[in-house]
Amino acid sequence: MGRASEGNAGCNICVATLITGCITVIAPDGTVLNQVMLPEDPIVTNICFGGPDRRTAYITLSGAGQLVAMDWPEPGCRWRPLDRKGRAINRTPPSRRLPAGSTARTP
């Protein structure tokens, strides 16, 4: 997923909102909770979270061709790919997975 949206710890979705120049924070029930304006560029295209505590929002401003970083009040969720049934996909090759109960990698 290229990430036009990203979740945060409050189970909300943060969506890069084109033309309005903002990140829209949407609750699971669809309620718009907040709009964080980015007046530098109306073409906000992506958001993802990083940093040691995932409280840094990295946002692309495509009109200006910039990547900006800003502090975010809640940590972003760690992204995990899901299959069509919503189950987590383990992308680690079987040869690199830890055996059940093990704390050391197998050769």
For 65-102, write each residue's pLDDT tens digit.
999 999 999 888 776 677 777 777 766 666 666 666 65
Whole-angstrom distance, CA of residue 76 vs CA of residue 46:
14
Whole-angstrom distance, CA of residue 9 vs CA of residue 86:
18
Reported as a single tens digit per residue, the pLDDT across 24-72 is 999 888 999 999 999 889 999 999 998 988 899 999 999 989 999 999 9
Q: Is 95 helix (H, G, I), strand (E, B) or coil?
A: helix
Q: In degrees rounded to 5, what are phi and psi of residue 105?
A: -70, 145
Whole-angstrom distance, CA of residue 56 vs CA of residue 86:
27
